[in-house]
Structure 1
């Protein structure tokens, strides 16, 4: 999982700028509606810190870099095609791609990451992936 600092920035960016669908983060309670409707499921991974500098007196005085990825799973009803999912995925990527938000740099992004969308029960998932890094 990512650091709490990165997680909070992603939550705030989506909360302040995304109103088209509900957004659900890891381990949150979300009751699927009786009639399938679009939503975004978010996972944030970035649990490593690479040492990015050497020579400071104490280990923690060096620069440490967190790196990771955000997975934005755009869920749309099965049987409705993939266009709406692609549109939402592109709009979500554009909220982050190339941004530096409070020290978190959002880097490369992809829609699908080379994988086709997939069906889950009543939903089709199209995943947008965004790389990030943060120095500490």
Structure 2
């Protein structure tokens, strides 16, 4: 899992920029699916590791440490409605992060469906957009 600092930046950026286009659900948050399937975004935030970037500080913890991670933005649309709407929403989500420096988090490259074409889950189709990030401390 990502650090709380990286997670908080992602949550705040979505809250500030998404504007209620769809419901947004973060990992392990309560969410009751509606009786009639409707669009929503399911968000997962992963931090891969903390890598020591600098050396030489008297106390090792005083060196620069880098967290690398990813945001998975699963755009959920009703089954049998095609993938175009999911791609449109995924592009908007990626655009909120791509190339941004927010607090200590730098958002890097992004992809839509890279290596993982859309999948069907019950009454929903999932198109996943991925954004890579780094955070220094």
Q: TM-score, normalised by structure 1?
A: 0.98
Separation in 1, partners of 2:28, 2:116: 24
Deviation at 1:78, TM superposition (A): 0.1
Q: Counterparts of 1:60 and 1:47 in 2: how far apart (Å)?
A: 19
1:126 aligns with 2:124: no
Q: CA deviation at 1:70?
A: 0.3
Structure 2 residues without counterparts, runs of 5 or longer: none
Deviations 1:56-80 (A, max 9, x none): 0001110000001000000000000
Classify the secondary structure of the residue corresponding to 1:50: strand
- Aligned ranges 1:14-25 → 2 under 5 Å: 14-18=14-18, 19-25=20-26
Q: How does 1:30-109 map to 2 (within 5 A)?
A: 30-109=31-110
SS in 2 for 1:93: helix
Q: Distance in 2 between matches of 1:82 and 1:20?
A: 17
Deviations 1:98-118 (A, max 9, x none): 000012000000000122100
Structure 1's unaligned 5+ residue stretches are: none
RMSD (Å) for aligned C-alpha atoms: 0.6
- Structure 1 residue 49: deviation in Å? 0.3
What CA deviation, in whole Å up to 9, does each residue of 1:18-71 have, x standing for no partner?
Answer: 121000001000000000000000000004100000110001110000001000
Report runs of 4+ in structure 1 exceeding 4 Å deviation. Answer: none
Q: After the TM superposition, which of the residue ranges 44-53 and 34-43 deviates more from structure 2?
A: 44-53
In structure 2, how many angstroms separate the alpha carbons of the residues matched to 1:2 and 1:103? 13
Distance (whole Å) between structure 1 residues aligned to residue 114 and residue 31 of structure 2: 26
